[in-house]
Amino acid sequence: MDANRTRVKEMSIARTMAALEKNNMGAAYLPQAAEVVPTLQTLLAKNDKVAVGGSMTLFETGVIDLLRNGDYRFIDRYAPGLDAEQIRRIYLDSFDSDVYLTSANAITEHGELYCVDGTGNRVASMIYGPKRVIVIAGWQKIVPDLAAAVVREKMVAGPANAIRLDCDTYCEKNGRCMSPVCDGRNLMALPAGACENSICCNSVVFSRQRQKGRIVVLIVGEETGY
């Protein structure tokens, strides 16, 4: 990226961080993805109970490896061989974690996080339970507003996750949502039941927080995750 585009990117990141802070969320900028693990090592304490939401960002930035090999009590939802009941127990136990690590589907320059879940365990834990929530997100997830966040999810995050999870949805086969728009009166812009195997089941906007600093957002200056 040339210096001018880098400057534009960094101004957008600065606007977003300032807005997140006005909404009582912490914010920090990590120019390189390689800074994520060392930064987390300073934010996590030995023996912290740590849980994670479903996120490719956490794999790509080395966070899952850090948690598996570090001095933490990691509740590993990705451990091989877990059955459905064991995973359900992990999701419930995650509410009682010291730190919950995850990503977001979009971050608006108004200082909001936009997260869309299938099962809903991620957004539930982000809303309530864990003492701290750390969101790690590549800068490409920054959008001007919520309408753009909805469209981003339908054009990028939703289809990529549907392909990853083999969900047999329109977006898995076509690389975009069957209705890739935002309708102010119908958020999903879909007739009820139109996407039979939808993974876009729970759309949550995190705006101003009551508990200052519980959610911290680390914006990475390299593209990572969906």
Q: Which residues bind ligand SF4 (CB under 6 A)?
A: 154, 158-159, 162, 169-171, 177-178, 195, 198-200
Q: Which residues contact 42 (CB under 8 A, 6 or more apart)?
A: none
- Whichever of 94 and 161 has its CB closer to ligand SF4, that residue is 161
Closest separation between CB of residue 154 and ligand SF4, Å?
Answer: 5
The residue among 53 and 159 lying less far from ligand SF4, judged by its C-beta, is 159
Taken in order 116, 120, 125, 128, the sign of the CA dihedral is positive
Question: Cβ closer to ligand SF4: 37 or 148?
Answer: 148
CB of 221 to ligand SF4, least distance (A): 27
Q: Can you list the alpha helix ranges (DSSP code H) found in the chain?
A: 3-22, 36-43, 56-60, 63-69, 84-94, 121-127, 146-152, 158-165, 170-174
Q: Which of 24, 119 has the CB closer to ligand SF4?
A: 119
The residue among 149, 98, 150 whose CA lies nearest residue 125 is 98
Minimum distance from CB of 169 to ligand SF4 (Å)? Answer: 4
Whether the Cβ atoms of residue 178 and residue 171 lie closer than 8 Å to each other: yes
Q: Smallest gap, in angstroms, from Cβ of residue 176 to ligand SF4?
A: 8
